Chain A
Amino acid sequence: MTAIATPRVATARRIGTTLRIHAANPWAIVYTPWLILMGVFLLNFSIWHLVLRAAGDRGVNPDAFHYNGGVSWVLFYMVVVAVQAMNQTFSFVVGLGATRRDYFLGTAVLFVGLSLMYGVGIAAFAGLERATDGWGVSGWFFAPWTFATMPLWEVAVVYTLVMLFMFFGGSTVAAVFVRWGANGIILFFASVAVLIVASLYAITQLEAWDAVGQFFSGRDAIQLALMSLVVTVAAGFVGYALMRRATPKG
């Protein structure tokens, strides 16, 4: 009989541990979102055919199926994933004895990985969409609207960046909830609302609407998406600061 000795485990391994715990049940983060996205696509595809059948010989405008928001569903679903990660998985993993730091870093790596997977995946489907001339019916689901004219790599980058924003923004709001509960959330969104109205007021007061308009219209989607990275990174730091003092539930 000898007393137990515990081997030292390096930071990278510990971060990998958090990652593997997230992946222990891949349904919530990988399978379900893809299945639902495919479901939404098939529904859209059916509707396009329905419309074409109904239109008959008269046909439809060539750009009738160019505007579609079906893919945005998966973007918002990632907010749910982020909230779950902060709320339940945090309590589970830290409750079992991981540090908050390792949990946060592992989760950040997961967010980046998922964003890349969905960004590149959606762009790949967009490629297929273009190769088949919009699934044979000029239907644009994966890269609709302004995305239709963007190079595929840009589509991948924009989706990835928007997804990262959803993850880190969502997890930071969730961290506010974990720390301060419902009252914290109310105060948070009240402050955001006040801030937005205040900036609208300031822009009007300074008669700066033209400048604002020029600022945004002078930039394409990828530049705007890159600018969101500033907010994403800031949200990441704020989220980490909040989580450092959070306690697991239960």
Chain B
Amino acid sequence: MTAVIEVTDLARTYGKVAAVSDVSFSIEENSICGLLGRNGAGKTTLMRLVTGQEFASAGEIRVFGENPVENAGVLARTCFVRESQVYPDGFRGKHVLRAAAHLFPNWDADYAARLVDEFRVPLDRRMKKMSRGQRSSVGVIIGLASRAELTLLDEPYAGLDAVARELFYDHLLRDYSENPRTIVLSTHLIDEAARLLEHVLVVDNGSLLMDAAADDLRGTAVTLVGSHNSVERFATGRPVLGWESIGGLSSVTLTGLSDADKADAVAAGLELAPVSLQQLIVSRTRGAQEA
């Protein structure tokens, strides 16, 4: 495996505010990576740094082994679609797609036309007059039809309805299996996207909180439900992610349980429930805040 993105000790500060601080990670070729985190965590800044649109204050970024800033060779292989993309006044949907067709060497016009049909994008409408969902659809179409070796999608489906989101997941998976590439996806809808993600990066307050394979993460945490006393007895001294009590019942989310630990928990009369990626990340980011 080769890394498409390698980030080392990256920092970006605006005056006294650190948008990204001391972040290191790498993203492997031909994988789908989720970049997750709360609003203002630094997801967009990270993507802008990786695509050379923003300048690093410290640290190093390598994309396809090179510095992406003002690097036409790297940028031609990269597509970055973001929710807040600026469009020139008077630009209609068709103008945007025409521009994308010129800009991306692997652009598939037939595929783009099919997506326009399926997402029902009004190409003759001005971008400014489109609904948020329609603008997002244009972004999604660019992200898919550009067939860029590295595709970064920043909140690609803000405002999209459930049907359009399903359509997007299906197309992304299908096109990804036919034309493997590296995809970085930032999203709030973690559970929805969870089945797509092979790797997860979680950022919080500009720092990297988690960097793990999605499958590994799913196995790391477990929720135990039982009487208040038995839950407390079992959880004491273990890394607790979350704790809830209703009446005499308690549930606790723990990480780092071995199979033997789980057997012990069952023996202690506790019920084991899996933890969704979303729950895990929510409790982790909350924990980071409190710490």
Contacts and interface: CB of A to CB of B under 8 A. Distances in A.
A27 B103 contact: no
B22 to A, nearest CB: 21
A9 B72 contact: yes
Nearest to A244: B70
Contacts of B95: 24-25
B54 A247 contact: yes
A243 to B, nearest CB: 11
Interface in A36-77: none
A88 interface: yes
Interface stretch (A95-103, A153-161, A214-222, A226-234): A95-103
Contacts of B75: 97-99
Given A3-B30, A3-B181, A21-B102, A9 B76 contact: yes
B89 A88 contact: yes
A147 interface: no
A93 B52 CA distance: 13
A24 B98 contact: yes
B32 to A, nearest CB: 14
A6 interface: yes
Contacts of B82: 95, 250
B129 to A, nearest CB: 14
A229 B117 CA distance: 50
A96 B100 contact: yes
A151 interface: no
Contacts of B102: 17, 20-21
A232 B85 CA distance: 31
B178 interface: yes
B181 A84 contact: no
Contacts of B73: 8
Contacts of A20: 98-99, 102
B91 interface: yes
Contacts of A98: 72, 75, 103
A7 interface: yes
Contacts of A247: 48, 53-55
Nearest to B72: A99
A84 B178 CA distance: 40
B71 interface: yes
B78 interface: yes
A6 B76 contact: yes
Contacts of B54: 247
B105 interface: yes
B84 interface: yes
A94 interface: yes
A28 B88 CA distance: 10
Residue among B29, B48, B76, B102 with the highest chain A CB neighbour number at 10 A: B102
A91 interface: yes
Given A1-B177, A247-B55, A6 B88 contact: no
B147 A4 contact: yes
A7 B87 contact: no
Given A95-B86, A249-B86, A100 B70 contact: yes
A92 interface: yes
A11 interface: yes
B92 interface: yes
Contact of B80 (A1, A27, A97): A97
A6 B76 CA distance: 8
A238 to B, nearest CB: 18
A95 B88 CA distance: 12
B149 interface: yes
Contact of A250 (B85, B92, B103, B105): B85
A24 B53 CA distance: 23
Contacts of A9: 72, 76, 105
B145 interface: no
Contacts of B38: none
B106 interface: yes
B99 A6 contact: no
A95 B76 contact: no
Given A3-B30, A25-B92, A95-B53, A102 B99 contact: no
A138 interface: no
Given A6-B106, A92-B86, A97-B103, 18 more contacts: A1-B177, A3-B30, A9-B72, A17-B102, A24-B98, A25-B88, A25-B91, A84-B89, A93-B99, A95-B53, A96-B85, A97-B104, A99-B71, A102-B72, A245-B55, A247-B54, A247-B55, A248-B86
Interface of B: 29-30, 48, 51-55, 70-73, 75-80, 82, 84-92, 95, 98-100, 102-106, 142, 147-149, 177-181
Q: What 7 pairs between A and B have smallest CB-CB spacing?
A: A91-B86, A250-B84, A21-B99, A88-B88, A24-B95, A250-B86, A6-B77
